[in-house]
């Protein structure tokens, strides 16, 4: 029997901490799409490309954070890993908030932003897997394990929505000062949220299975890494679709595309914010349904397949319509399809690794996906944009890459990964 009150408390705290982590991550995405091209780069047209690259460099350090903080989580506790990940994210946000503009310190400005984004990459790389591992272990004997882990998963779209609507509010309040100082307030708020989350998280329960394995040593993770490398690689390619599409195509790319071609910045952001809220709802509903039928792989197949269809044709067509309602439909449909699979992803990944390697395995699977697709997108954007004469002409090429990633994930799930029935202890 599970202790329901402990599960509710721990899951709620970790869901909020995850939301705050993603909030800090995505306020950078919003800033990259709106103000960074003017603030941190000398020429706005080139700045658009460089700004998206500065946002995406976190994909380089995310697997490093996944490995390091994953081993911390497996060796010294899931809570310790979560707190350290939150601190790294807070330091990155604080650094970005304090970085002067290009007009004041020239090339040092974008350099510092990239350094602080790399630091944030370490933090985002290690928090999610430890949170998922802890919730899945607390609910190991529950038929509703996928539902409980889906609440942690909902932290991503909710964190993004909070970043977007917070930015819209600040734009309305600060007016012209948003470009010079107002946007920095979001990062300061993010730091405060993180500090609060790291304090609260100390009071949650530790994994009941991890505490039974106190003879575990850090170096054992290396041997586990070799032992489970095949599962790791399969899960990496099963996940490239979601992280590659949501973290680049939906934001910041679509926001920048829309604000340049048809909609105001606030309307462009709002379309993604509405999609976030619907995606979070989808995550919780699918988590509940999957707990009843135990078909996580089925939901992942549906998610990858529907996302491939959506992003390959209807999505770019609707974005080019210049009508806000069609843009909202495009963003909401694509994001909901993506997050249908993301809902069960945490539980699905956790079931492939034993307790002593779960935090590291879950983290690495997800973050290696991020590193692969992040590198692909950075290279693609820097090559495609100059060739097609600007960002507004690049939409079909960027969405084609996303459709290919969705197809890769679909084929991986169809041919390589089978449904799992329980949590290996």
Q: What is the pLDDT of residues 12-45, one digit of tens each?
A: 999 999 999 999 998 988 888 888 988 898 876 6
Higher pLDDT residue, 128 or 419? 128
Mean pLDDT over 65-70 rounds to 92
Mean pLDDT of 42-55: 78
Candidates 291, 292, 241, 203; CA nearest to 399 is: 241
216 pLDDT exceeds 70? no
Nearest to 134 by CA among 281, 6, 292: 6
Q: Does residue 218 register a pLDDT over 90?
A: no
User: And the tokens for 253?
Assistant: 């790319």
For position 312, what pLDDT does the model report? 92
Measured in whole angstroms, the distance separating CA 326 from the mean position of its chain's CA atoms is: 25
Alpha carbon distance 145, 346 (integer Å): 10
CATH number of 4-203+227-415: 1.20.1250.20
Mean local confidence (pLDDT), 318-340 = 95
- DSSP, res 42: S
Q: Rounded mean pLDDT of 78-100?
A: 94
Other C-beta atoms lying within 10 Å of the C-beta of residue 76 = 15
pLDDT for residue 215 is more than 60: no
Lowest mean pLDDT among 14-23, 148-157, 256-265, 406-415: 256-265
Say which residue, 278 or 218, is predicted with more confidence.
278
Alpha-carbon distance 138 to 209, whole Å?
8
Q: Is 219 exposed, middle or buried (0-12, 13-18, 19+ CB in 10 A)?
A: exposed
Residue 394 has pLDDT above 90, yes or no: no
Report residue 4's pLDDT band, with 50, 70 and 90 as the boundaries: confident
Segment among 21-35, 45-59, 82-96 with least mean pLDDT:
45-59
Assessment of whether the complete model's pTM goes beyond 0.75: yes
Tens of pLDDT along 335-362? 999 999 999 999 999 999 988 889 999 9
Position 180 scores a pLDDT of 82
**4/11 Cα distance (integer angstroms):** 10
pLDDT band, very low/low/confident/very high, at 407 (cuts 50, 70, 90): very high
Of the chain, the percentage scoring pLDDT greater than 90 comes to 55
Identify which has the larger pLDDT, 330 or 262: 330
Instruction: Give the pLDDT band of residue 5 (cuts 50, 70, 90).
Output: confident
Distance CA 213, CA 137 (A): 13
Tokens coding 226:
């070799």
Mean residue pLDDT across the chain = 89
Tell me the pLDDT band of 84, cut-offs 50, 70 and 90: very high
- pLDDT band per the 50, 70, 90 thresholds, residue 194: very high
Structure tokens at 348: 């699905």
Would you list the domain boundaries of the chain? 4-203+227-415
Enumerate the H helices of 210-312 as residue ranges.
220-227, 229-244, 254-261, 265-293, 296-312
In the predicted model, is pLDDT for residue 214 greater than 70? no
Question: How far apart are the C-alpha atoms of 162 and 158, rounded to whole Å?
Answer: 6
Q: How confident is residue 318, by pLDDT bands cut at 50, 70 and 90?
A: very high
Q: Which residues, 6 or more positions from 298, have their beta carbon under 8 angstroms from its beta carbon? A: 419
Q: Coil, helix or strand for 65?
A: helix
**Average pLDDT of the segment spanning 293-315:** 93
| Statement: residue 191 has pLDDT above 90 | yes
Determine the Cα–Cα distance for residues 404 and 397; give it in Å rounded to an integer. Answer: 11
Confidence of residue 239 (pLDDT cuts 50, 70, 90): very high
Measure the CA–CA gap between 110 and 104, rounded to whole angstroms.
12
Residue 421 in this model has a pLDDT that exceeds 80: no
**What is the length of the chain?**
425
As a whole number, mean pLDDT of residues 263-273 equals 92
Task: Give the pLDDT confidence of 277-292 residue by residue, as tens digits.
Answer: 999 999 999 999 987 7
Bond from prior residue into 252 cis (ω within 30 degrees of 0): yes
Q: What is the CA radius of gyration of the chain?
A: 20
pLDDT of amino acid 220: 67
CA-to-CA dists, residue 275 to 272, 325, 374, 394, angstroms: 5, 12, 22, 22
Q: How confident is the model at residue 389 (pLDDT cuts 50, 70, 90)?
A: confident
- In this structure, what are the phi and psi dihedrals at residue 20, rounded to the nearest 5 degrees? -65, -35
């Amino acid at each position: 029997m599970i202790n329901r009150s402990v599960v509710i408390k721990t899951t709620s705290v970790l869901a909020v901490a995850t939301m705050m982590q993603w909030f800090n991550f995505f306020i950078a995405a919003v800033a990259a799409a709106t103000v960074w091209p003017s603030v941190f780069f000398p020429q706005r047209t080139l700045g658009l490309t460089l700004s998206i690259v500065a946002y995406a460099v976190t994909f380089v350090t995310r697997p490093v954070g996944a490995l390091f903080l994953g081993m911390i989580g497996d060796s010294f506790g899931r809570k310790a890993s979560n707190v350290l990940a939150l601190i790294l994210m807070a330091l990155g946000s604080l650094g970005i908030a304090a970085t002067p503009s290009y007009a004041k310190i020239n090339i040092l400005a974008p350099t510092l932003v990239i350094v602080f984004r790399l630091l944030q990459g370490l933090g985002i790389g290690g928090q999610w897997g430890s949170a998922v591992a802890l919730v899945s272990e607390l609910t190991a004997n529950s038929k509703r394990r996928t539902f409980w882990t889906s609440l942690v998963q909902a932290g991503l779209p909710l964190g993004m929505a909070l970043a977007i609507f917070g930015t819209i509010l600040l734009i309305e309040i600060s007016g012209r000062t948003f470009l010079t100082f107002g946007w920095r307030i979001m990062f300061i708020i993010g730091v405060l949220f993180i500090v609060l989350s790291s304090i609260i998280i100390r009071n949650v329960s530790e994994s009941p299975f991890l505490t039974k394995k106190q003879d575990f040593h850090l170096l054992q993770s290396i041997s586990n890494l070799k032992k489970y490398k095949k599962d790791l690689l399969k899960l990496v390619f099963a996940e490239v679709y979601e992280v590659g599409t949501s973290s680049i195509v939906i934001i910041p790319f679509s926001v920048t595309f829309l604000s340049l071609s048809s909609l105001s910045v606030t309307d462009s952001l709002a379309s993604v914010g509405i999609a976030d809220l619907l995606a979070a709802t989808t995550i919780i509903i699918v988590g509940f349904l999957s707990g009843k039928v135990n078909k996580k792989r089925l939901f992942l197949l549906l998610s990858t397949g529907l996302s491939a269809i959506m992003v390959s044709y209807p999505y770019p067509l609707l974005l080019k319509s210049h009508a806000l309602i069609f843009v909202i439909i495009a963003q909401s449909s694509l994001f909901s399809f993506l997050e249908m699979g993301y809902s069960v992803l945490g539980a699905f990944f956790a079931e492939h690794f034993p307790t002593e390697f779960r935090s590291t395995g879950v983290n690495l699977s997800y973050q290696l996906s991020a590193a692969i697709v992040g590198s692909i997108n950075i290279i693609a954007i820097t090559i495609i944009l100059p060739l097609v004469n600007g960002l507004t002409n690049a939409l079909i090429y960027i969405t084609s890459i996303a459709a290919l990633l969705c197809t890769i994930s679909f084929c991986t799930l169809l041919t390589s990964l089978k449904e799992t029935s329980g949590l290996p202890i």
